[in-house]
Every structure is written in C-alpha cells, then in structure tokens.
Structure 1
Amino acid sequence: MPDNSSDEEKNKSIALIASILFILAFAILMYLFFNKFLFNTNIPELREGHRDEDYCRMVKNYIDTNGKEGWRDYRGIYYKDCLK
C-alpha cells in the first residue's frame, strides 16, 4: 500500500513554494510599476521650484485672449512664478 501522506505533504510543499514565488514576483512587478510611473520625479509638477513653461504660456494665452483660449490660472502661481 503506497504512502499517500508523503505525496500529499510533497504536493503541499510545492504549492506553498509556488505561492510564495508568485507573491514575490507580483510584489516586484508592483514595485517596478509604481517606481516607474507613480514616483517618477521627472514630472514637472512634482519637482520643487520648477517653472512649468507650458503652464505659464497657456495662462498668458488665456489672459491675452480674454479667456477664449488657454487656461485660467488654476494653480494661482502665474503672477508669482511666471512673470519673473
């Protein structure tokens, strides 16, 4: 009569190892995703002290066209940061 308990224990061990490897791989992929896309400091709005030239240009366009084109100064920084 074969020993089914040792086969069952072996299968449980393999399943546990596979689960741990899957969770580890998933965690590494999530870290890489968040590091690449969410914590990227090359985004101008996230860099401290960076003047966003596109923002300033669009707000100036809004002012020059009396609100018909461009963006309103939704950040409230145009007169402080853009007119230096």
Structure 2
Amino acid sequence: MVHNNSEPPSTEQTAPEGTRYDTQQVGPFKKGPFRMAMSAHVPVLPIVFRNAEMVAARDAATLCPGKVAHVVEVETPFALSAFRH
C-alpha cells in the first residue's frame, strides 16, 4: 500500500489471519497487513464478520443456498505509531 499525494486516498481490506478457520475463534494474525498500515502511516479499523462460515465454509467450492443474517461489528480505529516493525 503506497499513498501517492496526486491520487485520492484508497481503502484497503485485508484478512489479518491470512486464512479462514472452521471455528469461531480468532486465529493468529500475520504481520503483513499491519506492516502495510505502518508504512502508509494510516490507522487500522477492525471489522468483525460473524457467521460468515455459514455462507461459505472454509473448504467449500460453492456458497450455501439460503439466507443468513450476518452481524458486522465495526470497532474503534487505532494507530500503529506505538508499534515497531
């Protein structure tokens, strides 16, 4: 993620776990998304998607038919300036 002052800012989305898990537990985070945010000097906005595994299981080749109520939680943004590479 590189910010060019001649272009408008963009929004990047990443999955910090690097993969999906079959449990509802949060997996270990990879360093990449946080390093990108640190390099770009931008805050991180955590967003949690609940029940996503009901639509597309980890090893599924297709989406499951039917309706699923998703709960999306938007948390408080935080700066990475206190962290180091």
Q: TM-score, normalised by structure 2?
A: 0.25
Higher helix share goes to which structure? 1
Which structure has greater strand proportion? 2
Ranked by relative contact order (alpha carbons within 8 Å, sequence separation 6 or more), the top structure is 2
State the TM-score, normalized to the length of structure 1.
0.25
